[in-house]
């Protein structure tokens, strides 16, 4: 028998995180062609755990070859992308949250903006995976229950605390990032603007007027920084959004086309096939391996 006595110690973690809220849990697996181009989330932070497979994550200007047992922390407004290894499909969990309050970092952040957000979970990896599975299972069983909400809330806070402690004890792994240049900051501002408005009509001339630079300079700057033109980036954001909706909802292709910004479903289908390589319905049939709304859930 093992019996441990715990001394009472003051803690402000729960009080400080009174506004903490999980907004989404995502489990991506079984799709060797999975790509989510550069994007960012305003006021949202993410914990990404790699349960299997391999993929390339780009976080701001740093590239990480992620594999089983790796943990990535994405702060609000951080530009990031992911590409699955076609020969070893990613098995990746993402917990998205808001209202985070931790010591020594800005409100909403999980790690300092001056560190690389990439860690080896080590022995904590199995605990992290089990917590994520339990959160998903609880929500899919009875999403409307107050008990379910409280359970997923506490499990998510536990995961946040584990990640926070892991960051604190991995200072040797954290390295300073390079200082952003003025040019890159403009490119980031443009990207953030498109992220917030990609479902609406955006023209280069509109971006040029908004950011007070010429259209040619803006296009060149953005393309140099991110390897894609502003308009093609908007299309890629729409296509990524459409992929999510195809595998996690039962909405019709026409409805999804309208939701991501295309009034003409035929035009949307042509673009989807050009960028993804499959008809939207074929994509849904191939990659929906769980019941609708299970692969990605809003909490």
Phi and psi of 194, rounded to 5°? -65, -40
For 227, the 3-state DSSP assignment is coil
CB atoms within 10 A of CB 253: 18
Confidence at residue 5, expressed as pLDDT on a 0 to 100 scale: 66
Confidence at residue 169, expressed as pLDDT on a 0 to 100 scale: 67
Contact 206, 200 (CB under 8 A): no
Element (H, E) at 82: strand 80-84
CB atoms within 10 A of CB 214: 12
Max distance between CA atoms of the chain, in angstroms, equals: 73
Confidence at residue 278, expressed as pLDDT on a 0 to 100 scale: 87
Give the separation between CA 125 and CA 179, rounded to whole angstroms. 32
- Residue 94, token pair as written in the block: 């993402």
Phi and psi of 225, rounded to 5°? -75, -40
- What is the per-residue pLDDT across 11-42, written as a single tens digit (0 to 9) for each? 777 788 889 999 888 888 888 878 887 788 88
Contact 287, 31 (CB under 8 A): yes
Contact 23, 46 (CB under 8 A): no
pTM of the model: 0.69
Where do the domains of the chain lie, and which CATH numbers do they carry?
13-168 (2.60.120.280), 182-287 (1.10.10.60)
- What is the per-residue pLDDT across 122-133, written as a single tens digit (0 to 9) for each? 888 999 999 999
- Residue 35, token pair as written in the block: 């790509």
CB atoms within 10 A of CB 112: 16
- Residue 236, token pair as written in the block: 């890629």
Mean pLDDT by 10 residues, the chain (299 residues): 69 82 88 79 91 87 83 90 87 93 88 80 90 87 71 89 79 45 80 90 92 88 85 89 86 94 94 89 77 44
Contact 100, 47 (CB under 8 A): no
Per the listing, tokens 């007070």 go with 212
Q: How far apart are the first and last CA of the chain?
A: 39
- What is the per-residue pLDDT across 40-70, written as a single tens digit (0 to 9) for each? 888 899 999 999 998 888 887 677 888 899 8
């Amino acid at each position: 028998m093992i019996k441990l006595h715990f001394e009472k110690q003051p803690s402000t973690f729960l009080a400080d995180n009174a506004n903490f809220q999980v907004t989404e849990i995502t489990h991506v697996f079984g799709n060797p062609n999975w790509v989510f181009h550069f994007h960012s989330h305003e006021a949202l932070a993410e914990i990404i755990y790699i349960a299997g497979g391999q993929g390339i994550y780009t976080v701001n200007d740093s590239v990480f070859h992620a594999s089983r047992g790796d943990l990535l922390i994405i702060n609000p407004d951080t530009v990031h992308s992911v590409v699955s290894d076609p020969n070893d499909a990613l098995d990746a969990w993402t917990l998205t949250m808001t209202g985070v309050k931790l010591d020594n970092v800005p409100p909403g952040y999980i790690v300092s903006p001056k560190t690389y957000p990439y860690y080896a979970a080590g022995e904590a990896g199995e605990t992290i995976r089990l917590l994520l599975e339990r959160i998903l299972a609880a929500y899919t069983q009875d999403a409307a229950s107050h008990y379910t909400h409280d359970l997923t809330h506490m499990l998510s806070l536990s995961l946040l605390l584990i990640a926070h402690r892991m960051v604190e004890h991995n200072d040797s792994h954290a390295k300073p990032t390079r200082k952003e240049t003025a040019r890159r900051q403009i490119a980031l501002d443009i990207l953030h603007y498109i992220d917030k408005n990609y479902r609406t009509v955006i023209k280069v001339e509109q971006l040029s007027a908004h950011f007070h630079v010429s259209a040619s300079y803006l296009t060149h700057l953005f393309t140099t920084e991110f390897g894609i033109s502003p308009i093609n980036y908007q299309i890629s954001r729409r296509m990524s959004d459409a992929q999510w909706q195809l595998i996690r909802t039962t909405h019709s292709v026409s409805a999804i086309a309208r939701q991501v910004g295309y009034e003409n479903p035929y035009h949307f289908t042509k673009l989807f096939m050009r960028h993804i390589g499959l008809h939207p319905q074929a994509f849904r049939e191939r990659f929906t391996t769980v019941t609708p709304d299970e692969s990605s859930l809003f909490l």
